[in-house]
Amino acid sequence: MGSLDSNTHEDHTSTTPFKPLDPEEFRSQAHQVVDFIADYYKNIETYPVLSQVQPGYLHTRIPQTAPHHPEPLHAILRDIETHIVPGMTHWLSPSFFAYFPATVSTAGFLGEMLCSCFNIVGFNWLASPAATELEMIVMDWLANMLKLPTTFLFSGSGGGVIQNTTTDAVLVTLIAARDRILESIGANYMSKLVVYGSDQTHSMFTKACKVAGIDPRNIRLIPTTIDTGFSLSPFSLSKVIEADVAAGLVPLYLCATIGTTSTTAVDPIQPLADVAARYGMWVHVDAAYGGSACICPEFRHYFHGIEGVDSLSFSPHKWLLSYLDCCCLWVKNRDLLVKALSNNPEYLRNQPSESNSVVDFKDWQVGTGRKFKSIRLWLILRSHGTANLQAHIRSDIQMAKMFEGLVRSDPRFEIVVRRRFALVCFRLNPDKCSGPEYTNLTNRKLLEWVNSTGRVYMTHTVVGGLYILRFVVGATLTEERHVVAAWKLVKEGADALLKSK
Amino acid sequence: MGSLDSNTHEDHTSTTPFKPLDPEEFRSQAHQVVDFIADYYKNIETYPVLSQVQPGYLHTRIPQTAPHHPEPLHAILRDIETHIVPGMTHWLSPSFFAYFPATVSTAGFLGEMLCSCFNIVGFNWLASPAATELEMIVMDWLANMLKLPTTFLFSGSGGGVIQNTTTDAVLVTLIAARDRILESIGANYMSKLVVYGSDQTHSMFTKACKVAGIDPRNIRLIPTTIDTGFSLSPFSLSKVIEADVAAGLVPLYLCATIGTTSTTAVDPIQPLADVAARYGMWVHVDAAYGGSACICPEFRHYFHGIEGVDSLSFSPHKWLLSYLDCCCLWVKNRDLLVKALSNNPEYLRNQPSESNSVVDFKDWQVGTGRKFKSIRLWLILRSHGTANLQAHIRSDIQMAKMFEGLVRSDPRFEIVVRRRFALVCFRLNPDKCSGPEYTNLTNRKLLEWVNSTGRVYMTHTVVGGLYILRFVVGATLTEERHVVAAWKLVKEGADALLKSK
């Protein structure tokens, strides 16, 4: 935008050109917004955690068309406070214990500001060398923190790349696996390809497989049981694969999980990879949640056997203080990924790419454009250091342990599944005089009661027919006192429910 | 993170708990970064536009592992200035005329700050009602600005959703189309599905089709010619489809483009949609670049016939002052999208979703998690108003026209393709004594010379065998003087080249 323009902010000042990025106006307005945000973080405990609005609430509060003329920042910020904040579920509230929390940090925010600032579209090396090279370095840093085998590093045959979400990580590796096998057996075998996970694998897996054209009838979600902590049994996997092979199908891809969404179950990587190896399958490890914990030596054993898999991903936006979205993917054989996903239109051709001396990350992902996300991770790792990041993981787990202890101290409750990370799966004890459905209903009512207070937000799951309350410690601002208050509230709800009965 | 933690920023202050998001520390550090960014924007003209570093430059400047202990912000900002900035291609430089620029604005930055601030993971309505409802409203606002038929609005059978990139927009609509047809003819026809674009369709189209499992042999990129301005001929399309149908194949999807990447060619929507309608195909319009211009009445005619298509997308990050990434997609039949992409795991089940009274945007995209991107668009639309956004488009086009005039005034150059938007396609005239290859080589040398100065960055394309220089006006800070200076530099390069010859 430049000086040719005669349209203006206000009709009566028609000589001022429209300058959407005046550095001094930027400075002044961005400072205002920084204060708005710092105040939001300061006051976040005063808001109901789960929004209490009804569907369609915003429709009547906002005009039906965009304004023709500019509106001032203070009016917009006022509207955010009046109309948007009440309709938000406050994910950063210290009393948010739902889903898996999305963790943040000052360093992550600053990194995101810098990422936006430069607004680099780093599809290939030349489009901004620093973006690509910093990503390679930071992904190697993280790989070292996780003690990944060197084959997953750029110095080996592999490398790491930042994707948006786990779905993208699964999708791109699935396509690399799919194209590798179709190249050898022929495209006509597409409908014969079979993929494997467990009934605890995240729902994104099925979706990614459908997107990639895998016949929905060939997606195997192998049942797990409470006896084995809902982890995938290598024996069951082996049986299912054998039956598929006998039926003339072709085993393609296994998605194992470290820290499932429902209960943070951990699939045993090494024996599963051994089974998959017998059939030449691609093994991906989805460690979206659990991976962050593996930067601590005492949790690294969950990665045991990782050298036998083809790819793994974890999401720092879940538990490593990054803002959304950031999913780190490593592959052992980068050539397979590039072969499946590269394209080379004339308008992007350039000498460094053609000399094969550089990495072009557009060939490691589905989309073309990409942000400078590595700068955010770089800030997080440098501002905190591995020591504090490990401490952060341990502190969350310590608080979850404390909550677990509180639950155990009340005989009306039970812990349903063994706690591994910072998720506690619990429920009101079954009423021996009533059936399991009644127990499920009672727990559902308890959750509704707790969430309706707006004082905490927790979610549920159902596994093995049991309705379970999930309590995840992980929101960045959570302290011991919030966990204690949450437990008091749960007890209060139980008192009210059991008394009314 | 809370008070249980004994690890610390510094070994010697072991009583301070680790607090990754202290509101006052946030305030102070974010203010520092705002000033850093405002200064960067102020000084941006002093940096070489295209980075002049060599592959691997950063490897030797940065430690090979993450630090164990925290490092202070000032050290990180100093490293960014010393090591990162020299390796960046400055996309926001006013002398960036390459690819399609990525436009920005103060309002967009503030919107992105607020999006990060709340860090909502809006996979479904309940996870944060305001995020979903604001997205629906803002997408309707934009649809109105583009004068889309009401069928594309939420009040009709359709609706809009923010995707990351055009690839995502094409991928999700392709899958909706694919699953619709396979449901009626059977999954075994997967290998018979055929998709159509032109040889000017963006390379993401082929990639999205491959990702979705379309047999690469069934991707038709129909040739275009300079005589028709590289737009897709409905007659050619019709012929190709007829041949496919005769061969027993099934026409599935057409991707038409408004503003191709190489030359901003425009495919004729209405006659193409008419052809596609005869075969029951899905028609998508990729208006990634050209769509923004259609908010101006004088360019709206490019959308003529849009009521006949199934979906369209455009990317405000390209030309509507948004930062990365933001691609707006509308569909005419939202049920088809949801049917193909919905999933319903227990841990996300909730009463509003099950009552069908709300929109869950996870069912409109490939991934599960999603950011609160609508707040950024809302800030852009409100802070600027449609009047200024139209003025911004017109100003860029006016500057491109001026550049075109300068090129025409020098008989050594020619305009190769008709200018429609803010891209000028030009080259040094063919040397009548030498062949076309020599002309191409000369233009390539001219481009290399210009870019090596670091004073501007332009890119090239090759269409119809012609090597063409692309000059796109669009970087937010570009003013008339930068365009004039760029032209002077191009002439200087031509002088040097032709003299040396």
Tell me the CATH number at A340: 3.40.640.10
Query: Which of B328, B366, B332 is CA-nearest to residue B159?
Result: B332
Say whether B37 and A30 touch across the interface (CB within 8 A).
yes
**pLDDT score recorded for residue A449:** 97
Rounded to whole angstroms, how far apart are CA atoms B83 and B64?
A: 15
pLDDT mean over A129-157:
97
Query: Which of B425, B17, B24, B378 is CA-nearest to residue A35?
Result: B24
Q: Is the pLDDT of residue B4 over 70?
A: no
Residue A467 within any structural domain of the chain:
yes
Per-residue model confidence as pLDDT tens digits over B286-316: 999 999 999 999 999 999 999 999 999 999 9
Query: Which of A313, A320, A22 is CA-nearest to residue A173?
Result: A313
The structure tokens listed for A309 are: 């898999």
Say whether B210 and A390 touch across the interface (CB within 8 A).
no
- A47 pLDDT band, cuts 50/70/90, is very high
For every residue of A303-345, DSSP letters joined together read: GTTGGG-SEEEE-HHHHSSPPS--EEEEES-HHHHHHHH----
pLDDT mean over A375-404:
98
- B501 pLDDT band, cuts 50/70/90, is low
CB < 8 Å to A476, chain B: 1, 20-21
Shortest distance between the Cα of B55 and any Cα of chain A, in A, equals: 6
- A433 pLDDT band, cuts 50/70/90, is confident
Per-residue model confidence as pLDDT tens digits over A136-146: 999 999 999 99
Say whether B109 and A87 touch across the interface (CB within 8 A).
no
pLDDT mean over B71-79:
98
- A500 pLDDT band, cuts 50/70/90, is confident
CB < 8 Å to B91, chain A: 118-121, 128
- B356 pLDDT band, cuts 50/70/90, is confident
Per-residue model confidence as pLDDT tens digits over A447-475: 999 999 999 999 999 999 999 999 999 99
Residue at which a domain ends, from A320, A338, A371: A371
The structure tokens listed for B265 are: 């060619």
Query: Which domain CATH number covers B26?
Result: 1.20.1340.10
B21, B37, B388 member nearest A70 (Cβ): B388
CA atoms within a 13 Å half-sphere pointing along the CA-CB vector of A142: 29
The answer on A485 and A409 residing in a single domain is: yes
Q: Is the pLDDT of residue A305 over 60?
A: yes
**pLDDT score recorded for residue A15:** 53
Reduce the DSSP state of residue B341 to 3 states and report it: helix
Q: Is the pLDDT of residue B11 over 80?
A: no
Count how many residues are written for chain A: 501
Residue B389 within any structural domain of the chain:
yes
ipTM above 0.90, yes or no: yes
Contacts 24+ apart (CB under 8 A), A316-319: A316/A292, A316/A377, A316/A380, A317/A102, A317/A103, A317/B369, A318/A100, A318/A101, A318/A102, A318/A103, A318/A288, A318/A289, A318/A292, A318/A474, A319/A100, A319/A101, A319/A103, A319/A289, A319/A292, A319/A293, A319/A393, A319/A396, A319/A422, A319/A474
Cβ of residue B215 closer than 8 Å to a chain A Cβ: yes
Residue B110 within any structural domain of the chain:
no
**pLDDT score recorded for residue A399:** 98
**H or E segment and range at residue A255:** strand A250-257
Residues B337, B341, B347: CA angle, nearest 5 degrees: 135
The answer on A313 and A165 residing in a single domain is: yes
Residue at which a domain ends, from A371, A402, A420: A371
Query: Which of A327, A351, A354, A332 is CA-nearest to residue A342?
Result: A354
Distances in Å between the Cα of A208 and the Cα atoms of A140, A182, A195, A337, B461 are 26, 18, 11, 16, 34
The answer on B186 and B220 residing in a single domain is: yes
Say whether A40 and B357 touch across the interface (CB within 8 A).
no
The answer on B366 and B387 residing in a single domain is: no
The answer on B366 and B388 residing in a single domain is: no
Scored b (16 or more CB within 10 A) or e, A23-44 reads: beebbebbbebbebbbebbeeb
Query: Which domain CATH number covers A430?
Result: 3.90.1150.10
Query: Which of A402, A473, A421 is CA-nearest to residue A298?
Result: A421
pLDDT mean over A213-222:
97
Identity of the amino acid at A431: D
**H or E segment and range at residue A142:** helix A129-145
8 Å CB contact between B330 and A126: no
The answer on B326 and B247 residing in a single domain is: yes
Burial of B45 by CB count in 10 Å (0-12 exposed, 13-18 middle, 19+ buried)?
middle
Q: Is the pLDDT of residue A344 over 90?
A: no
| Nearest 10 degrees: Cα torsion A75, A78, A82, A86 | 120
**pLDDT score recorded for residue A434:** 81
Q: Mean pLDDT check: name the lowest of A432-441, A459-468, B223-232, B258-267.
A: A432-441
- A-contacting residues in B 314-373 (Cβ below 8 Å): 317, 321, 323-325, 340-341, 343-348, 352, 357-358, 366-371
Distances in Å between the Cα of B29 and the Cα atoms of A110, B107, B467 are 8, 21, 48
pLDDT mean over A98-116:
97
Distances in Å between the Cα of A125 and the Cα atoms of A23, A213, A273, B64, B392 are 28, 31, 34, 20, 30
B324, B344, B480 member nearest A2 (Cβ): B480
- A123 pLDDT band, cuts 50/70/90, is very high
The structure tokens listed for A87 are: 């309709």
Strands B327-331 and B282-286: unpaired
Identity of the amino acid at B73: L
Domains held by chain A: number: 3
Per-residue model confidence as pLDDT tens digits over B122-156: 999 999 999 999 999 999 999 999 999 999 999 99
For every residue of B103-124, DSSP letters joined together read: ---HHHHHHHHHHHHH----SS
Residue of chain B nearest A464, judged by CA positions: B346
Rounded to whole angstroms, how far apart are CA atoms A195 and B458?
A: 45
**pLDDT score recorded for residue B357:** 87
The structure tokens listed for B74 are: 């000032």
| HEC-encoded secondary structure of B238-302 | HHHHHHHHHCCCEEEEEEEEECCCCCCCECCHHHHHHHHHHCCCEEEEECCCHHHHCCCHHHHHH
Q: What is the number of other CB atoms lying within 10 angstroms of the CB of residue A291?
A: 27
Cβ of residue A404 closer than 8 Å to a chain B Cβ: no
Distance of CA A280 to the CA centre of its chain: 29
Residue of chain B nearest A62, judged by CA positions: B137
For every residue of A382-419, DSSP letters joined together read: HHHHHHHHHHHHHHHHHHHHHHHHHHHTSTTEEEEE--
Residue B140 within any structural domain of the chain:
yes
pLDDT mean over A62-87:
97
The answer on A349 and A483 residing in a single domain is: no
- B-contacting residues in A 64-123 (Cβ below 8 Å): 64-71, 73, 76, 80, 83-92, 99, 102, 104-107, 109-110, 112-114, 116-121
Residue A161 within any structural domain of the chain:
yes
The answer on B360 and B387 residing in a single domain is: no
**Residue B485 sits in which domain range?**
383-500
Residue A366 within any structural domain of the chain:
yes
Say whether B18 and A395 touch across the interface (CB within 8 A).
yes
- A16 pLDDT band, cuts 50/70/90, is confident
Indicate if the alpha-carbon torsion angle A297, A302, A304, A310 is positive or negative.
negative
Residue A1 within any structural domain of the chain:
no
Interface test with B, best of A15, A21, A339 (most B CBs within 10 A): A21
Mean pLDDT of chain A: 94
Rounded to whole angstroms, how far apart are CA atoms B361 and B314?
A: 18
Backbone angles phi, psi at A410, to 5 degrees: -110, 110
Q: Is the pLDDT of residue A34 over 80?
A: yes
pLDDT mean over A212-235:
97
Rounded to whole angstroms, how far apart are CA atoms A311 and A313?
A: 7
The answer on B440 and B361 residing in a single domain is: no
Residue A131 within any structural domain of the chain:
yes
Tracing tokens 């993401």 back to the chain, one arrives at: B204
Shortest distance between the Cα of B442 and any Cα of chain A, in A, equals: 16
Q: Is the pLDDT of residue B271 over 80?
A: yes
Rounded to whole angstroms, how far apart are CA atoms B226 and B236?
A: 15
Rounded to whole angstroms, how far apart are CA atoms A181 and A216?
A: 18
Reduce the DSSP state of residue A258 to 3 states and report it: strand
Residue of chain B nearest A363, judged by CA positions: B207
Rounded to whole angstroms, how far apart are CA atoms A206 and B360?
A: 18
**pLDDT score recorded for residue B500:** 78
Identity of the amino acid at A62: I
Residues near B431 by beta carbon (within 8 Å), at least 6 away in sequence: B438, B439, B442
**pLDDT score recorded for residue A501:** 66
pLDDT mean over A483-501:
93
The answer on B361 and B411 residing in a single domain is: no
- A7 pLDDT band, cuts 50/70/90, is very low
pLDDT mean over A77-84:
98
Residue at which a domain ends, from B337, B371, B405: B371
| Nearest 10 degrees: Cα torsion A110, A114, A117, A122 | -140
CB < 8 Å to B321, chain A: 20
The answer on B257 and B320 residing in a single domain is: yes
Tracing tokens 């003087």 back to the chain, one arrives at: B481
- B3 pLDDT band, cuts 50/70/90, is very low
Say whether B51 and A130 touch across the interface (CB within 8 A).
yes
Per-residue model confidence as pLDDT tens digits over B372-416: 999 999 999 999 999 999 999 999 999 999 999 999 999 999 999
Interface test with A, best of B119, B209, B351 (most A CBs within 10 A): B119
Rounded to whole angstroms, how far apart are CA atoms B340 and B282?
A: 14
The answer on A345 and A494 residing in a single domain is: no
- B433 pLDDT band, cuts 50/70/90, is confident
